A and B are shown apart, each in its own frame.
Chain A
Amino acid sequence: EVQLVESGGGLVQPGGSLRLSCSASGFTFSSYAIHWVRQAPGKGLEYVSVISSNGVLTYYTDSVRGRFTISRDNSKSTLFLQMTSLRADDTAVYYCVAYSSGWRYWGQGTLVTVSS
């Protein structure tokens, strides 16, 4: 069974940092590009970032570029998102998603709340 399990979310003050993790199992993690997609409370889906299967290529949406860093450890089937300079509008559920002709396998999400 394919599983993606996010962790690391929580309450952080504006300007703070947080590191999200996503542990994968049940599929060949190293063969998939993995994405982060977020959803603010009561809002729609928003694309955040992607990392290629070998970790060489990374892309970010404009609103997080320079503040967020995506990385992966294929030996541990784990994805990371280092978030810095957090703002109130970064408050959302963050999903890690494995991509194969579409965002195919989703984690359950982890909630990040940026508030003082």
Chain B
Amino acid sequence: QSVLTQPPSVSAAPGQKVTISCSGSSSNIGNNHVSWYQQFPGTAPKLLIYENNKRPSGIPDRFSGSKSGTSATLGITGLQTGDEADYYCGMWDSSLSVGVFGGGTKLTVL
């Protein structure tokens, strides 16, 4: 059971928009920055969003992040078949000095 809760799967058609939620509590998400990761089968995860809503260099602006209260959201617009992957939220819990991840969400682009 992950500390951060994500839906197991989401799906949408090419060109559409999808959102993936990450739910926590006031002690974790409420007090820390959230980051998001994309992982294709057999490969290492890749940082998509850091500090709730910032994109590393090279990440297209189709990917966005937001945080409100005890929840965070990853948004992907203009969906492409190449976006099919697993997506994880994560955060460094500074009060517990431990990292935590959500259980992951499998995105299917129909």
Q: How far is the CA of A37 from the CA of B97 in the complex (A)?
A: 14
Q: How many residues of B contact A (CB 8 A)?
A: 27
Report if A50 contacts B (CB, 8 A).
Answer: yes
Contact of A61 among B2, B90, B98 (CB under 8 A): B98
Closest to B39 in A: A45
Q: Are B33 and A101 in contact (CB under 8 A)?
A: yes
For A35, what are the chain B residues with a Cβ–Cβ distance below 8 Å? Answer: 99
B residues contacting A by CB (< 8 A) are 2, 33, 35, 37, 39, 43-47, 49-51, 54, 56, 86, 88, 90, 92, 97-104
B35 & A102 in contact (Cβ 8 Å cutoff): yes
* Residues of chain A contacted by B35 (CB below 8 angstroms): 101-103
Interface residues on A, range: 10 to 19
Q: Which residue of A lies closest to B3 (CB)?
A: A47
**Which among A59, A101, A107 is the interface contact of B44 at CB below 8 angstroms?**
A107
Instruction: Report B-chain residues with C-beta under 8 Å of the C-beta of A102.
Output: 33, 35, 47, 49-51, 56, 90
- Is there an interface contact between A59 and B37, defined as CB atoms closer than 8 Å? no
- Against B, the Cβ 8 Å flags (1 = close, 0 = not) of A12-27 are 0000000000000000
Q: Does A80 contact B (CB under 8 A)?
A: no
Closest to A45 in B: B101
Whether the Cβ atoms of B2 and A44 lie closer than 8 Å is yes
